[in-house]
Amino acid sequence: MLKGVARSTIKAAAAAVDVVRREPQGITILIYHRVGAGTGGQMDLPVDVFDAQMRWLAATQRLLTLDQALDELTAGANGPGRAGLVVTFDDGTTDWVDHALPVLEAYEVPATFYVATRFVDEQVPLPGDGTPITWKGLAELATSPLVTIGSHTHTHALLDRLPAGQVADELDRSTELLGEHLGVTVDHFCYPKALPGSPAAEAAIRERFRSATLARTRTNHPGVDPYRLSRSPIQPADAMRWFRRKAHGGLRAEDDLRRAVNRARYRGLDA
């Protein structure tokens, strides 16, 4: 309860900051994790909330695949660019195919799914009680023309502290497994916990992928570094009120605060 009050106070304060620091129009990338998994956490959206959000996005926003967004962000002159929106998911839980895909298909919303492959391959729970999706489930997801599959490392390793020699292994195991089981080539990467990688990790990612995403609640504009794309996390507490603002890159101040907390939390932790 108290946590909920603090959360909505922070959202309201962040919305007030938006009034004086308006985010320029651009491409917003949203982060989801789970839909209808029933874990009750802030990474797990109730199906009806997700359904309402996708219905609203399909009716009001210019929805893009990640590749379409990158084409726009890497071509032409630097500047604000057109407004657009990309939906993405992280980790790899079974609700992706059970709950998220039917909603995406109902409203024809394209989405990119970043998979941490070890959890699928070994069928071990993801952090926070996440039931891993199976290769069969992922294959069903991957056959949808709306779906792009990306890498989220093999073990969900934090790439700011991993020895350089292990970085290549994390990246290559994940893309090889995805290729082997799904027949896809993997062009897009997402940093676990949205923590930027070490310089060596970043170089390894630039060699292998077309893009990489961090967090940072804000819009992306032509001229952006495609290996440091900003994404806006969506929580159940956003409901529709704050969700609409985040779809336009709003609530940046909420994210600034969250990142300060995360930096403190993950500092010095082992992967």
Contact between 90 and Zn ion by CB under 5 A: the answer reads yes
Query: What letter represents residue 96's amino acid?
Result: W
Q: How far is CA 156 from the centre of its chain?
A: 14
**Closer by beta carbon to Zn ion, 109 or else 195:** 195
Stretch that binds Zn ion, among 91-99, 128-136, 218-226, 253-261 (CB under 5 A): 91-99
**Closer by beta carbon to Zn ion, 153 or else 220:** 153
Stretch that binds Zn ion, among 38-46, 184-192, 200-208, 258-266 (CB under 5 A): 184-192
Q: How far is CA 146 from the centre of its chain?
A: 16
**Closer by beta carbon to Zn ion, 90 or else 121:** 90
CB of 241 to Zn ion, least distance (A): 26
CB of 8 to Zn ion, least distance (A): 25
CB atoms within 10 A of CB 258: 18
Contact between 255 and Zn ion by CB under 5 A: the answer reads no
Contact between 170 and Zn ion by CB under 5 A: the answer reads no
| 237 Cβ contact partners less than 8 Å away, ≥ 6 residues apart | 4, 7, 8, 11, 42
CB of 91 to Zn ion, least distance (A): 5
Length, in residues, of the chain: 271
- Sheet of 232-233: strand order equals 211-213, 188-190, 147-151, 111-115, 84-91, 27-32, 232-233
**Closer by beta carbon to Zn ion, 91 or else 202:** 91
Contact between 91 and Zn ion by CB under 5 A: the answer reads yes
CB atoms within 10 A of CB 8: 15
Stretch that binds Zn ion, among 177-185, 192-200, 234-242, 255-263 (CB under 5 A): 192-200
CB of 108 to Zn ion, least distance (A): 26
Contact between 187 and Zn ion by CB under 5 A: the answer reads no
**Closer by beta carbon to Zn ion, 66 or else 253:** 66
**Closer by beta carbon to Zn ion, 115 or else 224:** 115
Stretch that binds Zn ion, among 15-23, 64-72, 88-96, 99-107 (CB under 5 A): 88-96
CB of 186 to Zn ion, least distance (A): 16
CB of 193 to Zn ion, least distance (A): 6
Buried b (16+ CB within 10 A) or exposed e, 176-200: ebbeebbebebbbbbbbbbbebbee
Question: In the complex, which residue's CB is closest to Zn ion?
Answer: 90
Residues in touch with Zn ion (CB under 5 A): 90-91, 192
